[in-house]
Amino acid sequence: MTDTNDTRHYAPTRRDYVKYGGALATGGLLAGCADDDATTAGETTAEPTDGTDTTTAADSSYSVTMAPVGEVEFDAVPERVLPYYPISAGATIALGHGDAITGIGYDKQLFGNTVDYYYDALDGVSFEWEELGRVTPSGEPGTLDTELFYELDNDVHFLDPCLLRSSSFGWSEADIEAIATDVGPWFGNYYSRTNASPPACEGDYEYYGLWEYIGKLAEVLRERERYEALKSVRDDLAATIEDRLPPAEERPSLAIVAYSGGTFWPYDFTQDGYLWNHVRPFGATNAFTTTEGGPGSDGAYDYEGMVEAEPDVVLRYWGTALGDTFIEGREAVLNDPLAEEVPAFRDGRYYPSGHGMQGPVMNLFQLEMTAKQLYPDQFGAWPGYGDGKRYPSVPEDERLFDRERVTNVITGDFE
């Protein structure tokens, strides 16, 4: 269980450390975790709690608790933030703190294009990512630029220390503690994406639903009201989807794939975790369930495998960020001699899909997008990929959520 007595006072950041020349002490960074009973909690109903908020008129400090980092105390709302993944970047922007972002992770262009694709569809909201730092060096996805963490001097790092300790990055506990002590704390829960067991952390690990996790980030940024306003939009959208879904026997079989050069790599979108929050509500059957290779992403399929799977709809995972690459790939897929034997390709139902590391705005658009791609008769037809740079224009009477309402929340007009 998470040790709620393990409170860390992280906001003297490195700036104060340098100013006062003192050593900032922290305990063991990775607090314990919670029971397995929590693995599916909060997918649609969770809200940020007050945690152990200690704010008073004379003391602006507050604390937020989340596995695996335990209880983290802040002396003030973070003014410099490293989100790393689109989920935390999107949440930071949507919660009104986009100007606090100093850097992002992995492929900078794909990252920026992923978030831009949705935010550019909202008037008056943007994500200026081009000049941000990138803590994953280009061409070296398994490394992090340690010095850049010091140069960016963030008040909080939205990254999971269990991920840092895994073979993906190979950091030691000492490496992690040094950044937390000298710069700012870690605050992330990476493995809730698929509810997988962290390979580098001992004991159990608590999992959060997508909006529960976003709520934790909202607590850090002291944006409970904004969070609740955004979540109300999501709850309304979820209710609309539930009300209009056709009976189970009328739902299509679906394949979600990565694709390159005639090879399709499947994803199991029926697994637990927030990665498939934008697909799970639609109750579609995984087309690969009955094939020899199975539904997971460990295998690969050629066109003969796709003929065997017979998907009614095929979605290209992360296709929304690929622009011309997706457009050209789609043309090649649909023009293959075997395309006529695959129902989805024969009917032209091969669409770009989103990315599972989704912040609140991405989630709203991706739910709407998936609804239209899978059920055009119930939700209106998907208008097409357009220029591949932004979410396509949807007629106002066919939109499944209110864009202006979302924009107003982000810009602060939500009372």
Question: How does DSSP assign 24-36, residue by residue?
Answer: PP---S------G
For residues 156 and 97, is the Cβ–Cβ distance under 8 A? no
Q: For the chain, which residues score pLDDT lower than 70?
A: 1-59, 296-297, 415
Measure the CA–CA gap between 138 and 403, rounded to whole angstroms.
35
Helix or strand or coil: residue 206? coil
Element housing 118 (H / E)? helix 108-119
Q: Give me the CATH topology for the region 7-222.
A: Rossmann fold (3.40.50)
**What are 339's strand-pairing partners?**
none
> How far is the C-alpha of 64 from the C-alpha of 304, rounded, in Å?
51
The residues that bridge with 103 in the sheet, in sequence order, are: 133
**246-411 carries CATH number 3.30.9.10:** no
How confident is the model at residue 296, as a pLDDT? 67
Q: How many CA atoms lie within 13 A of 249 on its CB side?
A: 0
Q: What is the Cβ-side half-sphere exposure of residue 265, based on CA atoms within 13 angstroms?
A: 8
Long-range Cβ contact pairs of 369-372 (< 8 A, separation 24 or more): 369/278, 369/320, 370/278, 370/279, 370/282, 370/315, 371/241, 371/282, 371/400
Q: Using an 8 Å Cβ cutoff, are 306 and 334 in contact? A: no
pLDDT of residue 203: 78
DSSP for residue 313: E
Say if residues 67 and 205 touch (Cβ distance below 8 Å): yes
- What is the four-CA torsion angle of 205, 211, 212, 218, rounded to 10 degrees? 120
Q: Where are the beta strands (DSSP E) in 283-403?
A: 285-286, 313-316, 350-352
Where are the chain's structural domains?
7-222, 246-411
What is the spatial distance between Cα 198 and Cα 191, in angstroms, rounded to a whole number? 7
- N-term to C-term CA, the chain: 37
Calpha distance 280→122 (Å, rounded) = 25
CA distances from 263 to 22, 120, 300, 369 (A): 56, 32, 7, 25
Contact, 99 vs 59, CB < 8 A? Answer: no
> Has this prediction a pTM greater than 0.75?
yes
Sign for the CA dihedral angle at 217, 222, 225, 226 comes to negative
Outline where DSSP puts E strands in 241-381: 253-260, 263-266, 285-286, 313-316, 350-352
Q: Do domains 7-222 and 246-411 have the same CATH topology?
A: yes
